[in-house]
Amino acid sequence: MLRGKNIIIGICGGIAAYKTPQLVRLLKKEGANVKVVLTEGGARFVSELALATVSQEPVYRAIFPSSGTTDFTHHISLGEWADALLIAPATANSLGRLAAGLCDDMLAACFLTLRPGKPVLIFPAMDGQMYLSASVQRNIATLAGQGCTIIPPESGELASGQCGLGRMPEPEAILSHLQQSLRSEERHSPLHGRSVLVTAGPTREKIDGVRFISNYSSGKMGFAIARAAAKRGALVTLITGPVHLETPPGVTRIDVESAADMHAAAEEVFSSCNVFIAAAAVADYRPRAPYEGKIKKEDAEMQLALVRNPDILAEFSKQRSPKQLAVGFALETREGVECARQKLEAKQLDLIAFNYFDGKNSGFEVDTNILTLIDRHGETLELPKLTKDEAAEQLLDAIERLTPVNAGNA
Ligand code: C5P
């Protein structure tokens, strides 16, 4: 359930903070990617080094970048990265800061920049009298009203030696609250339980036994989409050309080589998928008759006859039912919006994502992309430069907006 999920743990200054390295370990064991944000108070109770070691990530504290850094947006990118924010222990002070909308440390910045709908779980832990005070209760009510899940402290032995209300739940209990919350978030996604077919990567078109025609596609965009869809609870099949990428958790991967292979593999899945997202850079042409062995160099020139490959996306689009969504990509070198619109029309797509090829911020091999999304209603969304994971989330949000809420099987 937590496999591949991005979780931020915000740790504030309460004695219960000493249990958080154990919590980080539990989440890591479940396959989550964990980043820790420590408040100044939190750092008085638990060591940054311990948290960095168990999370295998730097611990985030300062909102302002340290001198010499080139990452000027880490105060917003961390919140955008997260699938859930867990604040344990949450002190009276941090509850007040968050309820007031302040942005005075990394925890507050993460809270403000979290993507809409992502779960925030808050575990207040403090002296019982303090917890029950009118001010803390007002702040808790404000945060609950904004959609945060507040898990009240437990009764038991307190740091003061007394018994009473105020204990933070044990790490195992926190983990199970998080799992429950992510499970219900998945159920909210219109993609939950739907079959999503993604194509990714380049294809290789054989010239002879040792040579082929291909392109620079790394498959990163398609893999990011498959990962994001699986995280939303979709049943994802990923058909990929030759790439050097790990299969995202929970995704069924089919490796292919040529456009014809990809076409054949996709056809098997067409009728049962609810959404087809064609992110592969499929070769438009293949050598008409690949040579069996190795072509010897003989003449000064040689001619290679090419024939058109099947257009996998257009074919799916032609034969699909009205309940199935077809999403394409368009890599353009100029007049992008116009060309992409024409492709959307010609291939009868529900959505097209286009980007220019600039070799630096968008396109093949790089980790970022600058996409423009155009849907079948003509709605256009120009996205800023995002990581491919973030761009994938935006693309899926757009697909969800087009997914009929009560659509059944394909
Ligand atoms: O027409 P163009 O190749 O620019 O269209 C790109 C879109 O069509 C991409 O989504 C790509 O994955 C898909 N496509 C395909 N089969 C092809 C060529 C492109 O599915 N043979």
162 domain residue, yes or no? yes
Which of 169, 186, 203 corresponds to the end of one domain?
Answer: 186
410 domain residue, yes or no? no
Q: Which amino acid is at 344?
A: L
Tokens of 117: 């709908």
Q: pLDDT of 346-389, one tens digit each?
A: 999 999 999 987 767 777 778 889 999 999 999 999 998 888 98
Q: Are residues 53 and 171 in the same domain?
A: yes
Q: pLDDT of 254-308, one tens digit each?
A: 999 999 999 999 999 999 999 999 999 999 999 999 999 999 999 999 999 999 9
Distance CA 94, CA 104 (A): 10
Distance CA 78, CA 334 (A): 33
CATH of the domain at 69: 3.40.50.1950
296 domain residue, yes or no? no
Q: pLDDT of 74-95, one tens digit each?
A: 788 899 899 999 999 999 999 9
d(CA 255, ligand 1 centre) in Å: 18
244 domain residue, yes or no? yes
| Closest to 243 in 3D by CA, of 34, 388, 395 | 388
Domain of 354, in residue numbers: 195-289+303-401
Q: Are residues 55 and 23 in the same domain?
A: yes
Is the model's pLDDT at 401 over the cut of 50?
Answer: yes
Check if 330 has its Cβ closer than 6 Å to any atom of ligand 1: yes
Region 189-200 average pLDDT: 93
Distance CA 364, CA 375 (A): 23
Q: Are residues 146 and 255 in the same domain?
A: no
Q: Where are the alpha helices (DSSP H) in 237-296?
A: 259-270
Helix (H) or strand (E) holding 166: strand 163-167
| Closest to 44 in 3D by CA, of 21, 18, 75, 64 | 18
202 bridge partner residues: 281
Q: Residue 202: its pLDDT value, please? A: 98
Residue 405: which pLDDT band, with cuts at 50, 70 and 90? Answer: very low
Mean pLDDT over the full length of the chain: 92
Phi-psi region of 305 (alpha: psi -120 to 50; beta: other; left: phi over 0): beta
Other C-beta atoms closer than 10 Å to the C-beta of 187 total 10
328 bridge partner residues: 278, 352
Q: Does residue 54 contact residue 25 with C-beta atoms inside 8 Å?
A: yes
The total number of structural domains in the chain stands at: 2
Please state the atom number of ligand 1 nearest to the C-alpha of residue 280.
12
Q: Are residues 352 and 227 in the same domain?
A: yes
Other C-beta atoms closer than 10 Å to the C-beta of 209 total 12
Q: Are residues 173 and 266 in the same domain?
A: no
Residue 406: which pLDDT band, with cuts at 50, 70 and 90? Answer: very low
pTM, entire model: 0.72
Q: Are residues 120 and 263 in the same domain?
A: no
70 domain residue, yes or no? yes
Residue labelled with tokens 């898990």: 151
Q: pLDDT of 218-261, one tens digit each?
A: 999 999 999 999 888 898 999 999 999 999 878 889 999 999 99
Q: Are residues 156 and 247 in the same domain?
A: no
Distance CA 390, CA 199 (A): 18
Check if 355 has its Cβ closer than 6 Å to any atom of ligand 1: no
**Ligand 1 pocket test, candidate residues 198, 285, 313, most atoms within 8 A of CB:** 313
Distance CA 185, CA 163 (A): 35
Q: Are residues 264 and 218 in the same domain?
A: yes
Residue 400: which pLDDT band, with cuts at 50, 70 and 90? Answer: very high
Q: Are residues 120 and 71 in the same domain?
A: yes
Q: Are residues 210 and 333 in the same domain?
A: yes
Q: Are residues 180 and 225 in the same domain?
A: no
**Ligand 1 pocket test, candidate residues 203, 329, 371, most atoms within 8 A of CB:** 329
342 domain residue, yes or no? yes
